[in-house]
Homo-oligomer: A and B are copies of this chain.
């Protein structure tokens, strides 16, 4: 495992996470608790919705992406501490049995003006399925400590 500080990050730096498969029962369990809509719960009812089939909640895809990031070999000094999110897109649905992997790319690195011990990194994460199709793209602002305060 590598711990990264602000000084270690630069635009263009990329790293991949491990993988996780979402099975039907997990998709339904998440939906029952957080997003109980027919297209996430019931394969039959889902046929009559805009998706035409059962798909995972976009928030389940997002939460799974977070887990992949937290488990990855590259760690940030204070953990993955989101100060906010700029954008989330779900270009393709996640279906039962899909295996997700995430790739992170540092977009921008900005030392804090007021706090000499830290800065912000903008990191874009693209989660893909086993066919390499993107299922989620999220750009997060993450708080990263400096190794040596300015």
Contact = CB atoms under 8 A, between A and B. Distances in A.
Which of A30, A37, A84, A85 has its CB near the most chain B CB atoms (within 10 A)? A85
A143 interface: yes
Interface in A17-62: 30, 33-39, 49-50, 57-59, 62
A3 interface: no
A107 to B, nearest CB: 16
B89 A49 contact: no
Interface of A: 30, 33-39, 49-50, 57-59, 62-64, 66-67, 70-71, 78-90, 143
Nearest to A33: B67
Contacts of A64: 34
A88 B38 CA distance: 25
Nearest to A118: B50
Top-4 shortest CB links A-B: A85-B88, A34-B63, A37-B79, A84-B89
Nearest to A91: B84
